[in-house]
C-alpha cells in the first residue's frame, strides 16, 4: 500500500474548511498544514513582539478544532504542521486545550524547536557567522544600529530529520517552527520507509512530491492557465501517494472539484524553483530536469525519476529587520482623461507632503488598470484606453511622522482635486512599521534542532 500524504494549506490564510473536507472525503496517513512564508514570519514576529506567548498561526487552532472527529475516528491519521511559527511550544499548549476538550488528551504531540536564531545572533556572530545577504553580499554587521534594536526575527529552514524523529517518538501531531516546505512530506516518508539519509534519489523523489503538494490547490487546478475548465468553488486539495522506491502519484479526493492532470502538475513543478538542476533543500540537492510526469487516468498523475545529490552544509535563514514605516492609499479615478488625472493626483499628494516639510525616502505611484500590475508586460495604449483606474500611492520613510503626514493628504483631493475621484470613505491609510527581508545562510553544525514528544495533556500550561 502506498503512503498517502495530503496537504490542505499552502499558506496562512488558506481555506479553513479544506483540511476537514479532505480528511472526511479521503483516508490519508498524514495531513500536512503548510502555513509559513517569509511574509508570514514577519507577521508572527510582530505578534510575538506584542505578546511573548503568541507568534504561532491561530488559524491552525481553528483547523484542529474542525478535525478532532476525524482524528478520533481514524487512528492512522497524523498531522504535520509548521504552524508553530515563532512559538511552537505555545502552539502546542493551545492545541492541548482543544484536544483535551475533545477527549484526545492522550494524543502525543511532538514539538520541534531550534530554528529561532534571534536569541543566539550575537553568539553566532562571535562564532564567525557573517550572515551575508544573499542578494547584496552585505554582512549583517552593516547595520548601523544595534542588532537588538534592528533585527526582529531570524529563522533557519530546518530539515526533515527532526520531524522524522518526532514521528519515531510516536507523535500523532508534530508542530514545528520554520522548516523547509518539502520537509513536511519528506519527514513522514523517511519514518515510514526507513530510507537512509544519504539515499539521495529517494530523498529527492519525496522532496519533489512535497514540493508538488506544498502549495495546496495550486497543483489541483488553482492558479492554472486552464482555470475556466475547473470547478474552483469546491476545489480539492492534493494527496501524494508515495511508494517505497520514491515514485509518487498526485491525486485528490474523488468528489472534489479542480483537476489533477499533467499540466496542473507541471505548472506547480516549476513554481518557485530557481535553477531546476539544483533545487536546494536542507535535506537534498534535487535535480528536477530528470523528473518524468505521466497522466495515467483521470485525476491521477505519476511522478518519477527525480535524482539528488548531497545537501549543502548550510541552512537558509529568513531574517527580518526594522526598516521604518509605510502607508499605501488608493483612490478610484474615472473619466476619459483618468490616466493623466491619476498621475497628476499622485504628484500633488507627494508635493503637498514635501510642502509640509517632509521629503519622503521612497515613494511609488501606480495606476492599476493601466499596466501597473505587471510593469512592462503590456501597455494599455495598444488597446482601448481605460475609462477608470485605481490610483495607488505608497510612501516609505524612517520617520513615522513623515508617513503620517502622507496619510493625511489623499482625502483632501476629493474636494480640492480634479473631478472624478472616489474612494475616500475608507478613511486615511494605515501607517504601519516595515519589517524588511534579509535572506542569508548559517552553518548547519551551529543549529541543533530539539525534539520533544509528550501526551497532549502534558503540554498543559
Please check whether residue 453 lies inside any domain of the structure: no
Q: Is the pLDDT of residue 345 over 70?
A: yes
The CATH number covering residue 368 comes to 3.30.70
Residue 455 confidence (pLDDT): 97
Q: Domain check: are 331 and 262 in the same one?
A: no
Q: Is the pLDDT of residue 148 over 90?
A: no
Residue 382 confidence (pLDDT): 60
Mean pLDDT to the nearest integer, 225-240: 94
Mean pLDDT to the nearest integer, 194-199: 98
Q: Let me know the angle formed at the C-alpha of 110 by 108 and 112, rounded to the nearest 5 degrees.
A: 175
C-alpha torsion 71→73→75→81, nearest 10: -20
Q: Domain check: are 338 and 362 in the same one?
A: yes
Residue 221 confidence (pLDDT): 96
Note the pLDDT tens digit of each residue in 274-330: 899 999 999 999 999 999 999 999 999 999 999 999 999 999 999 999 999 999 999
**Do residues 72 and 102 touch, judged by C-beta distance below 8 A?**
yes
Closest by CA to 67, choosing from 142, 9, 129, is 9
Q: Is the pLDDT of residue 6 over 80?
A: yes
Residue 423 confidence (pLDDT): 82
Q: Domain check: are 275 and 332 in the same one?
A: no
Please check whether residue 460 lies inside any domain of the structure: no
Residue 18 confidence (pLDDT): 97
Q: Domain check: are 419 and 366 in the same one?
A: yes
Q: Domain check: are 308 and 403 in the same one?
A: no
Q: Is the pLDDT of residue 228 over 70?
A: yes
Count of domains forming the chain: 2
pTM given for the model:
0.93
Q: Domain check: are 299 and 327 in the same one?
A: no
Q: Is the pLDDT of residue 461 over 90?
A: no
Mean pLDDT to the nearest integer, 344-348: 97
**What are the phi and psi torsion angles at 245 (to 5°)?**
-85, 0
Note the pLDDT tens digit of each residue in 158-169: 999 999 999 999
Q: Is the pLDDT of residue 263 over 90?
A: yes
Enter the C-alpha cell of residue 174. 508534530
Q: Domain check: are 233 and 342 in the same one?
A: no
Q: Domain check: are 266 and 365 in the same one?
A: no
Q: Domain check: are 50 and 169 in the same one?
A: yes
Residue 374 confidence (pLDDT): 64
Please check whether residue 142 lies inside any domain of the structure: no
Mean per-residue pLDDT over the chain, rounded: 94
Sheet order of strands, 450-455 included? 292-297, 300-304, 248-251, 239-242, 3-7, 30-33, 78-81, 173-176, 108-113, 450-455
Enter the C-alpha cell of residue 459. 503540554
Q: Domain check: are 103 and 208 in the same one?
A: yes
Closest by CA to 307, choosing from 293, 290, 319, 329, is 290
Quick one: 125 exposed, middle or buried, by C-beta within 10 A (0-12, 13-18, 19+)?
middle
Share of the chain above pLDDT 70, in %: 97
Q: Is the pLDDT of residue 59 over 60?
A: yes
Note the pLDDT tens digit of each residue in 81-123: 999 999 999 999 999 999 999 999 999 999 999 999 999 999 9
Q: Domain check: are 390 and 371 in the same one?
A: yes
Mean pLDDT to the nearest integer, 24-40: 95
Distance of CA 217 to the CA centre of its chain: 14
Mean pLDDT to the nearest integer, 254-270: 96
pLDDT band at 427 (very low <50, low <70, confident <90, very high): confident
**Domain extent at residue 382:** 323-435
Q: Domain check: are 295 and 352 in the same one?
A: no
Share of the chain above pLDDT 90, in %: 89
Amino acid at each position: 500500500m502506498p503512503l498517502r500524504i495530503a496537504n490542505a494549506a499552502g499558506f496562512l490564510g488558506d481555506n479553513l474548511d479544506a483540511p476537514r473536507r479532505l480528511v472526511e472525503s479521503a483516508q490519508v496517513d498524514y495531513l500536512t498544514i503548510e502555513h509559513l512564508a517569509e511574509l508570514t514570519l514577519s507577521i508572527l514576529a510582530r505578534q510575538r513582539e506584542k505578546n511573548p506567548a503568541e507568534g504561532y498561526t491561530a488559524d491552525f487552532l481553528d483547523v484542529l478544532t474542525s478535525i478532532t472527529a476525524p482524528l478520533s475516528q481514524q487512528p492512522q491519521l497524523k498531522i504535520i504542521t509548521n504552524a508553530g511559527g515563532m512559538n511552537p511550544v505555545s502552539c502546542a499548549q493551545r492545541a492541548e486545550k482543544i484536544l483535551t476538550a475533545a477527549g484526545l488528551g492522550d494524543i502525543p504531540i511532538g514539538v520541534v524547536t531550534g530554528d529561532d536564531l534571534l536569541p543566539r545572533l550575537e553568539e553566532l556572530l562571535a562564532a564567525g557567522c557573517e550572515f551575508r545577504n544573499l542578494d547584496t553580499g552585505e554582512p549583517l554587521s552593516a547595520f548601523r544600529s544595534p542588532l537588538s534594536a534592528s533585527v526582529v526575527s531570524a529563522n533557519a529552514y530546518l530539515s526533515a530529520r527532526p520531524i522524522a524523529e518526532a514521528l519515531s517518538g510516536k507523535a500523532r501531531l508534530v508542530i514545528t517552527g520554520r522548516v523547509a516546505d518539502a520537509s513536511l512530506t519528506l519527514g513522514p516518508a523517511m519514518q515510514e520507509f526507513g530510507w537512509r539519509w544519504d539515499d539521495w534519489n529517494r530523498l529527492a523523489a519525496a522532496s519533489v512530491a512535497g514540493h508538488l503538494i506544498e502549495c495546496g490547490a495550486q497543483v489541483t487546478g488553482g492558479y492554472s492557465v486552464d482555470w475556466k475548465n475547473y470547478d474552483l468553488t469546491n476545489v480539492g486539495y492534493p494527496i501524494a501517494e508515495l511508494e517505497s522506491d520514491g515514485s509518487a502519484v498526485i491525486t485528490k479526493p474523488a468528489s472534489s472539484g479542480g483537476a489533477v492532470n499533467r499540466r496542473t502538475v507541471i505548472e506547480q513543478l516549476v513554481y518557485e524553483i530557481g535553477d531546476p538542476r539544483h533545487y536546494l533543500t536542507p535535506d537534498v540537492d534535487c535535480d528536477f530536469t530528470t523528473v518524468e510526469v505521466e497522466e495515467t487516468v483521470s485525476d491521477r498523475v505519476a511522478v518519477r525519476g527525480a535524482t539528488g545529490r548531497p545537501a549543502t552544509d548550510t541552512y537558509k535563514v529568513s531574517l527580518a529587520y526594522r526598516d521604518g514605516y509605510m502607508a499605501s492609499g488608493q483612490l478610484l479615478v474615472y473619466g476619459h482623461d483618468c490616466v493623466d488625472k491619476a498621475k497628476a493626483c499622485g504628484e500633488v499628494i507627494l508635493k503637498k507632503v514635501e510642502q509640509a516639510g517632509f521629503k519622503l525616502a521612497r515613494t511609488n505611484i501606480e495606476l492599476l488598470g493601466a499596466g501597473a500590475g505587471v510593469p512592462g508586460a503590456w501597455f494599455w495604449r495598444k488597446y482601448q484606453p481605460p475609462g477608470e483606474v485605481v490610483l495607488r500611492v505608497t510612501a516609505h520613510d524612517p520617520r513615522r511622522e513623515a508617513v503620517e503626514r502622507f496619510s493625511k493628504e489623499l482625502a483632501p483631493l476629493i474636494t480640492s482635486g480634479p473631478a472624478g475621484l472616489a474612494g475616500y470613505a475608507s478613511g486615511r491609510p494605515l501607517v504601519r512599521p516595515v519589517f524588511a527581508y534579509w535572506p542569508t545562510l548559517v552553518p548547519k553544525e551551529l543549529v541543533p534542532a530539539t525534539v520533544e514528544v509528550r501526551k497532549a495533556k502534558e503540554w498543559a500550561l
